[in-house]
């Protein structure tokens, strides 16, 4: 998003540089008390030669700046090209990141499912160990081992799920999504 805005700004600077190469007309008006009939500005008001001279003096021709404006215009075009190249690089990087997160999500989904199955089997094994311990068939060490295996399996499942959620957040951000920040949802009505 930032690289797109930099590219747009560079485009606007091109327009500014090209506009700076156009002639400018400056109109001036004077107001105030005159010196009477001897005031030269009043005496020359109908003098067409004087009016044309003043008009030409009010037109500034930026073309005669030794090529500086043309060079500046070319530099802004080069800046725009550089900004466009940066935008393309940023876009390609974002698409690579999106592709990577999609690929990772598939493997993380399989991993989460496998840890889910392992956690469920560990829960069932723990329940069996509890029943056997209650009947006196299993030892305390076997029961503790079943608890430890269940905890490890659940920890692995939670870790796999957290990795998948983190990957999805990365995917969302890579697509240009942002996060909502606090505040009350204006669409929802608050209960009294």
Q: Quote the pLDDT of residue 72.
A: 73
Q: Quote the pLDDT of residue 149.
A: 96
pLDDT tens, position by position, for the chain (192 residues)? 566 677 777 776 676 666 665 666 555 554 444 455 555 555 555 555 555 555 555 555 555 555 666 677 777 778 778 878 888 888 888 888 888 888 899 999 999 999 999 999 999 999 999 999 999 999 999 999 999 999 999 999 999 999 999 999 888 887 777 666 554 454 444 444
* Phi/psi at 145 (5° precision): -60, -40
Report which of 104, 117, 102 is spatially closest to residue 157, judged by C-alpha positions. 117
Q: Cβ(23)–Cβ(69) under 8 Å?
A: no
Place of tokens 């500086």: 68
For the purposes of burial, counting CB atoms within 10 Å of the CB of 153, is it exposed (0-12), middle (13-18) or buried (19 or more)? Answer: buried
Residue 111 CB: number of other CB atoms within 10 A?
17
Q: Quote the pLDDT of residue 88.
A: 83
Cα separations (Å) of 119 from 52, 56, 109? 94, 89, 15
Name the DSSP class of 63: G
Q: Which domains does the chain have, with CATH numbers?
A: 2-26+44-174 (1.20.1600.10)
Q: Cβ(116)–Cβ(157) under 8 Å?
A: yes
Q: Quote the pLDDT of residue 164.
A: 94
Chain segment 103-123, per-residue pLDDT in tens: 899 999 999 999 999 999 999
């Amino acid at each position: 998003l930032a690289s797109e805005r930099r590219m747009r700004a560079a485009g606007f600077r091109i327009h500014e540089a090209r506009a700076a190469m156009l002639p400018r007309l400056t109109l001036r008006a004077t107001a105030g008390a005159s010196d009477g009939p001897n005031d030269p500005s009043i005496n020359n008001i109908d003098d067409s030669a004087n009016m044309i001279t003043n008009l030409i003096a009010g037109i500034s021709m930026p073309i005669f700046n030794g090529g500086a404006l043309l060079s500046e215009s070319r530099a802004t075009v080069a800046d725009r090209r550089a900004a466009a190249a940066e935008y393309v690089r940023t876009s390609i990087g974002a698409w690579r990141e999106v592709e990577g997160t999609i690929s990772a999500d598939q493997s993380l989904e399989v991993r989460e499912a496998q840890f889910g199955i392992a956690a469920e089997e560990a829960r069932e094994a723990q329940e069996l160990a509890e029943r056997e311990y209650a009947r006196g068939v299993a030892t305390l060490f076997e029961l503790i081992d079943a608890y430890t295996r269940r905890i490890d399996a659940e920890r692995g499942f939670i870790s796999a799920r957290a990795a998948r959620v983190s990957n999805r957040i990365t995917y969302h951000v890579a697509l240009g999504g942002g996060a909502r920040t606090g505040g009350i949802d204006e669409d929802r009505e608050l209960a009294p």
